[in-house]
Structure 1
Amino acid sequence: MGRTTGRRTVFAAVCAVAVASIYAAQPVLAEIGTDLGLPGTGLGWIVAAGQLGYLAGLAALVPLGDLVDRRKLIAVHLLLTAVGAALAAVATQTWLLLTGLVLAGLFAVVVQTTVAYAAALSTPEERGRTLGVVTSGVVIGILGARVAAGALAELRGWRSVYVALAVLLVTLAGLVLKTMPPDPRPEGTTYRQVLNSLGGLFREPLFLSRGLIAFFLFASFGALWSGLSLPLAEEPWNLGTAQIGLFGLVGLAGALGAARAGHWADRGRASLVTGGALVLLAVSWLAIGQPSLWLLGLGVLVLDFAVQAVHVSNQHLLTAAHPDRTSSVIGGYMIFYSLGSALGAAATTAAFARAGWAGSAVLGAAFAGCAFAVWATARRRTHTRAE
């Protein structure tokens, strides 16, 4: 294994395990609710808690990557994420569970520091490919967590999921310190200057449009994955947690199939990929909303392909536009991601409680339509300015 391939693998593993600490609750929501006595309408907040912690970390912690050695920063954040996972594992009351999940989410922004570090270590010609591999680790964490969490919960209960995550996070912290190169940062820049620079990004058309696309993109993604276990656990399917978790494999196959989005972005096709993938995202909900496991599986496959393709294209365009401050631009972009995911998690459980899975499907499709409208508007404005 070459040095570049080895780094990509480690970066992808860090992203996979860190992001899993936020999403591992999704296939076992019903079990957690039963254990802690939570009503069905409040289950979405278990997922939203991690997303809200993640949001705070994106604004306050990710910009540190433009100031301090990212190798050490990644290791420290992995250890603190492990603390949050450990708290969730021993929680016997809702407030302690939510505290652990917020803490885990806060420091799980190590994912974005890792993506920014990987982009900074890449040559311009290979940046898209690197981002495709590393963000595939994110998808493996989001979707693979469902498979692993479902299986572990079936064998040892939902708490074992967070015990396993804590162990993996501590192990990866040591691996990063041992294998990654030092990352000396330029002197003279202050934390306040970095935050001011981050605020300035929100006035840039490219950043704002790609951020809004991410907001609606991940609201649609969250509408699926935060609510999927609810209909599958009920009539007529009555699936167990392990069976529900297997749907993560379907989504994982779709997302990994979009790894070539990085190659397409390197060839200047990021905008076209975004538009086409957003159309697929909207269409996928037609299958997801049907009362058929086969159509549901097909829709999940297409949806995750579309989400990954757009996500890689977004990050490629933004890091190419701001190669000197990749941590800040990725952190700012992911604020939109976190807000959208939290919205999708909270809204889909409420929609399901009132209108069943058909209501969640309409919600997810509406979010996809909004993302496409943002892309089309931004593309039209770009062409108008070019003329």
Structure 2
Amino acid sequence: MNASQRLPPAPTRLWRWAVLAVVVAGQAAFLFYRSSKEEARARAMLDAAKTPADLQPIEDAAPRGDHAPSRPGELVLWRGENHVSALATDGERVYFGQTYGKRVLSVPVTGGAEVILGEASFPLDLALGKDALFVLDKGDSMREGLGAILALPKEPGAEARTLATKIVWAGALAASDTHVYWLDHGSLDRDYADGLVARAPVGGGPSTLLAAGERMPTAITLDATHVYWGRNLRQGMGELVRMPLAGGRVEVLSPGQGNIRRIIVVGQEVYWVSARDFIGNGAVIRKAPVTGGPGLDVLEAKHGICDMALDEEAIYWSDPHGTGSAPSSRGRIVKTSRKEGASVVLARELSTPCRIAIDATSVYFETRDEARLRKVPKSPPAPLPFEE
């Protein structure tokens, strides 16, 4: 066989690597462009602080159609282009974080000018202290190990402090008068088996590891003696557990749960949301004595529960989907009596409501449409009937 008859050389695989490099570069460019756009929007919002004139009855301010108001008297407290990612209130102001705005803000409960309390890369959860607002900062939604606990002054001017760093995957936050407690979900490459519960002094100081090897712990709360959280096992199973505030033996209060989304202690009872998945589908609100026992079903939501709050009278919960065929615009805020179990709707036709908070008279909640933060009375004169 002469040179002209030789077969062509076997194709190299270098072209495959070249294609992969082009794809990766394209994705990186897209992510950089999206991040730049979000930061530009945030800067524009910083230059245009809200005024009391921005507070309007929702029936006048909201667009008609799928996001039309459901009740007179609902108020829009804050509008913005970035999603609200965390929510808390002390009865005088509402505190909230912005997912992509990278800020933590507050507004008066009656409406008015927003106050920027500080910056956080990804404010995931909030907890109120006496003089400070504690922020669980996820750090980066794409990279592990960048989470932190921040202490921001409630009034602007004082210096923000960092209480903890290097949180692998930030989970949830709670605070007492002396310490801030948090959950770390753990790392993906270890199948989240390295999750943990930790605490640090609110005034600053070394962190203390309370529980290690907690697989993807979720939802945290405190009472006078214990810290409570949800432990995730495999095959979608979980359990409600607790430990003394200073550390010690972990007690299993109620096994056989799903994904625990929220835990609240009221008196000698603990309430929690147990869901089929991480977004709240197939959710049930249960309760048990704080010393443990089988979970008693309080209510079951056909479509889902994203968050809840409690007072002595009722349970307030967010149904992100409602009963309509358009899940993105049929969400509801529901009130269920703790004694009779009857439910009424406080607000409906909402765009995927999730986070909620309450004070003595009102329920505050966030939505995904342009009216990001809203308020409704706990006891309206004519509440809407509840339908599954």
For normalisation by structure 1, the TM-score amounts to: 0.25
- The higher radius of gyration belongs to 2
* Structure number with higher helix proportion: 1
For normalisation by structure 2, the TM-score amounts to: 0.25
| Relative contact order higher in (CA < 8 Å, ≥ 6 apart) | 1
* Structure number with higher strand proportion: 2
